Amino acid sequence: MVVLFLLAVAAVIFAVDAVLGVIWLWTSDAPGAAVPSSVYVWGALVTAAVIFLVSLFNIARLGSGGAAVARMAGARLVPSNTTDPLERRLRNVVEEMAIAAGVRVPEVYVMDQESGINAFAAGWDVSGAAVAVTRGMLERLTRDELQGVIGHEFSHILNGDMRLNIRMLGVLAGIVFLGSIGEFVIRSVRGTKDKGVLAIFLIGVALFIIGYVGLFFARLIKAAVSRQREYLADASSVQFTRNPDAIAGALDQIRSAAGGTLVGNRYAEEMSHMYFGQSVKMWMGGLLNTHPPLDERIRRVNPRFQPSSYRTGRAQPAAAVEPISVQPTGRRVGDLATAWGRTPAQSAALVGTIDSGKVDYAGRLLASLPPALVEALRDPDRAGPVMAALLLAEPELAREKQLGAIPGVAVAERVRAVAPLTRGLGLAYHLPVIDLALAAVKRLQPGAKLEILAAIEAVINADRRVSLHEFVVLALVRSQLSERPKPVESKRIAELRAEAATVLALVAYAGTRADTTGARDAALQAAIRAGAGSLGIPDSVPSPATLTLDAASHSLEALRSLVPMQKGLLVQGLFAAVTHDGTIRVAEAGLMRVVGAVLDCPLPPLLESLDPGSLAA
């Protein structure tokens, strides 16, 4: 992409210099004189500066990530408590996929004015992702087909395609900018009879032609980058859903839809590489299409797909949406040690993955939540208090002390009102409940978000003892609701050895179980030794007195600045400590998922074979 972009810049500069040379010769008083080199030099410098400045401006304009791109596409935010059946079905599918992947629930948008079948995912990172679909997709696709498309978009979220796509959206704007100026000039002087504007009109025409040079290269870059990512996303959708007919059926519906995948929005050209299907018609389509042919995409995901028999048996897409009802099929256990057959490296490789078993588990987990709790999680005014209520103690006296510590009577009463909904929920429910709540809380004003953070902090600190789980939950909520910029990912574990050792010790202390003090100390040393060996840091066991809340907070925040591959190594070391005895507990699995969420290393459900109903104790 970089090479093609530099070639595009060179081509645009060459075209501008050629036009400037013609204009100089046309207006020169010395016939036959050569064009001064300074004309070409200044033309090249100014053109390059314009291209790069416009690109930088557009990248900055998209700083808010998915929300900014969705607004460009003319999409409308779907509230978490929507009552529209089709929108509710869409949100249910997105929530299931997010819980299965261990990522925050993306913001969901609908492009109401678009009747074609299309969708896109956008964002700088998984926490700020947005998923948008057209109204035509909602109305024409069945739930399975919709799930196939959302699985496709989650592949873009998990594989880092979103960040690349937004960068392309910003960078490529620079090389087509001159064409936009030329088009504006032509429109401005069209119809004017004054001969003095002829030169201006010709300059506009020249810039418009130059713009098509940039547009050609922009389309070539998008086509070169996008096609293979689309094949990968289709294949990932099959892996996520275990249903090749889902994505193949959605692609088949595009062939029979009146508008296909075309998008009428003014930014459809700029965003063409981000969509599920071809958003604009292309000349030289075989070379410049951003998406592979539909027949080839269908053949790759399901070579035996038969359109006629599939269309005959498919469900009606516009039927009333029924609530999901999933019967538990897994094992029922408490917080007993469960055999863990993966090595630390294999465990860390789970980051950013989904498979069909995890999607099924997410469906069972959501279906096992009390309906009243689900309703509260979709209400922006009650979702925040639910997160605080998750951390309330069971003894009534301790719970009343926590409620009394919450600043603001109104907030405390809202937490008290929803407390019965969360009573008895085990740790395995906490991350999914928090993710569902965050999707609603993010819509609140900054002041209301700070009230929620203050309430959670008060509940945690009321008994002057902070468990690791409470601390990590607070760190996760802070990272999602605070206005602080995301740390620059530039550090390595070797530079943050002390911080890595602190978090490793916290995880080891929290996960160690033994009947006697001696056995517990031995298990703790074994866990820290396993983790430290994987991370390449000293394996000394720190004193519990040094593991303060401030030290843990500083360490976890600092580790967020690790480069992505180093974060993977950190997660591997933490897994080495947690699973050093070949087992993992429900509490440890939940803790690892929350730590992964704070570090932007999303982990899917680790014990998806369990019955969610058994995790409520």
Q: Is 385 contained in some domain?
A: yes
Q: Is 323 contained in some domain?
A: no
Nearest to 210 by CA among 12, 44, 41: 12
Domain final residue, candidates 460, 481, 502: 481
Task: Tell me the whole-structure pTM to 2 decimals.
Answer: 0.82
Bridge-based pairing of strands 130-134 and 107-111 is parallel
Pair (588, 533) in one structural domain = yes
Pair (494, 612) in one structural domain = yes
Distance CA 447, CA 451 (A): 6
Bridge-based pairing of strands 107-111 and 76-77 is antiparallel
Pair (471, 496) in one structural domain = no
Catalytic residue among 153, 230, 457, 608: 153
Pair (393, 440) in one structural domain = yes
List Cα–Cα distances, 272 to 61, 125, 175, 177, 236, in angstroms: 18, 20, 16, 17, 21
**β-strand partners of 107:** 130
Q: Is 442 contained in some domain?
A: yes
Q: What is the pLDDT of residue 144?
A: 92
Instruction: Read off the pLDDT of residues 358-397 as tens digits, 9 standing for 90 and up.
Output: 888 888 888 888 899 999 999 999 999 999 999 888 888 8
Q: What is the pLDDT of residue 616?
A: 43
Q: What is the pLDDT of residue 149?
A: 96
Distance CA 448, CA 379 (A): 14
Distance CA 292, CA 251 (A): 12
CB 158 within 8 A of CB 101: yes
CB 482 within 8 A of CB 446: no
Pair (535, 461) in one structural domain = no
What angle do the packed helices 161-189 and 2-27 form, to 10 degrees? 20
Active site residue 375: no
- Spans in the chain with pLDDT lower than 50: 319-334, 611, 613-617
Pair (604, 491) in one structural domain = yes
Q: Is 335 contained in some domain?
A: no
Q: What is the CA radius of gyration of the chain?
A: 28
Pair (465, 554) in one structural domain = no
Q: Is 105 contained in some domain?
A: no
Pair (448, 371) in one structural domain = yes
**β-strand partners of 610:** 331
For 33, phi then psi, to 5°, come to -70, 150
CB 438 within 8 A of CB 477: yes
Pair (550, 472) in one structural domain = no
Number of domains in the chain: 2
Helices (H), 31-124: 37-61, 66-72, 85-101
Pair (473, 528) in one structural domain = no
Domain final residue, candidates 425, 454, 481: 481
List Cα–Cα distances, 574 to 507, 511, 606, 613, in angstroms: 7, 11, 14, 27
Distance CA 521, CA 541 (A): 10
Domain final residue, candidates 466, 481, 496: 481
Q: Is 114 contained in some domain?
A: no
Helices (H), 267-335: 285-288, 294-301, 307-313
Q: What is the pLDDT of residue 112?
A: 94
Q: Is 55 contained in some domain?
A: no
Q: What is the pLDDT of residue 547?
A: 74
For 348, phi then psi, to 5°, come to -65, -30
Instruction: Read off the pLDDT of residues 48-90 as tens digits, 9 standing for 90 and up.
Output: 888 888 888 888 888 777 888 999 899 999 998 888 999 999 9
Degrees, nearest 5: CA angle 350-356-358: 55
> How many CB atoms within 10 Å of residue 344?
22
**Helix, strand or coil, per DSSP, at residue 83:** coil
Q: What is the pLDDT of residue 357?
A: 79
Pair (509, 577) in one structural domain = yes
Pair (473, 551) in one structural domain = no
Domain that holds residue 579: 487-616
Q: Is 219 contained in some domain?
A: no
Instruction: Give strand ranges (E) for 177-225.
Output: none
> How many CB atoms within 10 Å of residue 135?
18
Distance CA 311, CA 307 (A): 6
First to last CA, the chain: 52
Q: What is the pLDDT of residue 418?
A: 94
Distance CA 242, CA 602 (A): 21
Residue 372 C-alpha from the chain's centroid: 28
